[in-house]
Structure formats: structure tokens, C-alpha cells
Amino acid sequence: MLICENSKQLEYIYDFQKCEAWTRKIQNRRGEKRNKVDLKDSFANIIHSIKPLRFFVSTSTLGFLLSCKRCSATRAAASSSSSSSKTAAVMGRMHSRGKGISASALPYKRTPPSWLKISSQDVDDNICKFAKKGLTPSQIGVILRDSHGIAQVKSVTGSKILRILKAHGLAPEIPEDLYHLIKKAVAIRKHLERNRKDKDSKFRLILVESRIHRLARYYKKTKKLPPVWKYESTTASTLVA
């Protein structure tokens, strides 16, 4: 039982059992399910909302109020720590300490700009011409962006560069990212032949080759590489020759 009074000679009697029954009745009407901690918090909020009153609290009620305060403080600390961890969590790099999140922001509008007068057929012809010269899809995209003013090939032609190359039979046999990883591994291995005591390069070669195996496994799963394809360090130089 909790008895409180103020200067106006008013007495307020709050019985916890009545308050709990009243709260449950409201929950049943709303169809909500709340635990006992929420019931305690609702009762504590009712008590703390009457600020100008003077309270005469029994020992059992005081213990109950302190438990309510501890529960609410614990839940507030947990929620604040979880929210801070969510904001601070950033995916790191696989084999480095970097946590960069910078990326290009594509415009929301997916249609080509009004000042661009080139047709989609001309873009296809340029892509095929550059591919026959031996340029990779990313190099073709850089040339189209810098020299022809085509920021996004897909907005003009409806297809990406690699899809256009596949349609004309000019796509590279090895995906570009895997090709450049193999090229890097070959360069590191040539360096190690001349500098056998370079332990750091040996460690970096292990990391690069692990990325090659991981990426090759993905491309074989998505059928972009034949299932019998395998990276071997002895024959890797022939793949990037």
C-alpha cells in the first residue's frame, strides 16, 4: 500500500494489485501481450507522474520501486549500447585493416541526359570496336565516360557492357576481377624469384591466391567458369599472357 499527500490535504492510495489488474484489463482489450517488467514500469510511471506529492512508502513497496528503477536503467543501457554498436559497425576489408565505405552514388534518374545525341547502336559499335582492340570492360567504360560523355551504358542501350560483349561473342574467357588477381599473383611470384627473403611478399602472395580460389569457386558455382577450371601457380602466367 502506498499513501501520499500534498498541501491540499489530498490522499491518493495506489494498490499495486489493483493497478496490475487494471493494466491487464487494458491489455486484453487491445490484444497486446506485455511482460511483468512492463507492468512494473507502467505502475512506476503512474507514481512518478505525481511530482508534487509527498510519499510514505513501506519497505516492500520501496524494494519494488527500486527493482523497477534497476530494470528500466538496465534496459536503457542495453538499448543504448545496441544502438551505438549498430551505428559503429562497419564491414572491414578481407585482408587489411581498412573500413572504407566510400562508393559512387548513381543518379536516381535512369534515363540518358537530353544533351546526349548518340544512339544505342553507335554505343554498341564502339564497345565492340574497343573490345577487338583488347580492352577490358572497365577500360571500355572509362573511355566511353571520358571521351564520349556516356556515364552509364545501361541508360542508353538497356544493357551493361559485359552483356553486350556476350551477345557479340567478345566477352573475356576469365572474368575481369579474377584475371587481375591472377596477374597480381604472377607479378608477386616473379618478384619472389629475384628476392627470396622478402617474407612480406610471400605472405601477400598467400592472401592473393586465397582470394583467387575463393572467387574461382564462386564463378564455377554461377557457371561463369567451367567446372574443371583450376588455378595453378605453375601455369598461371599463360592465363594472363
* Cα three-residue angle 204-206-209, rounded to 5 degrees: 110
* Below-50 pLDDT ranges, the chain: 1-16, 36-37, 47, 50-55, 69, 74, 78, 82-88
pLDDT for position 194: 96
Residue the block writes with cell 599473383: 185
pLDDT for position 48: 52
**What is the pTM (predicted TM-score) of this model?**
0.61
**Model pLDDT for residues 147-187, shown as the tens digit of each residue:** 999 999 999 999 999 999 999 999 999 999 999 999 999 99
Q: Please tell me the distance from the alpha carbon of residue 192 to that of residue 207, in angstroms, as a whole number.
A: 15
pLDDT for position 58: 56
When the pLDDT of each residue in the chain is averaged and rounded to a whole number, the result is 78
CA nearest neighbour of 137 among 128, 148, 146, 125 = 128
pLDDT for position 22: 57
* Cα three-residue angle 76-80-86, rounded to 5 degrees: 145
Q: Identify any residues that bridge with 2 across adjacent strands, giving them in sequence order.
A: 14, 57
CATH fit for domain 176-239, picks 3.20.20.330, 2.40.40.20, 1.10.287.10, 3.40.50.970: 1.10.287.10
Q: Where are the domains of the chain?
A: 2-76, 120-167, 176-239
**147, 108 Cβ separation under 8 angstroms:** no
Cα separations in angstroms, 146 against 11, 65, 95, 125, 150: 81, 69, 32, 17, 8
pLDDT for position 217: 96
Tell me the CB-side half-sphere exposure of residue 30, using CA atoms within 13 A: 9
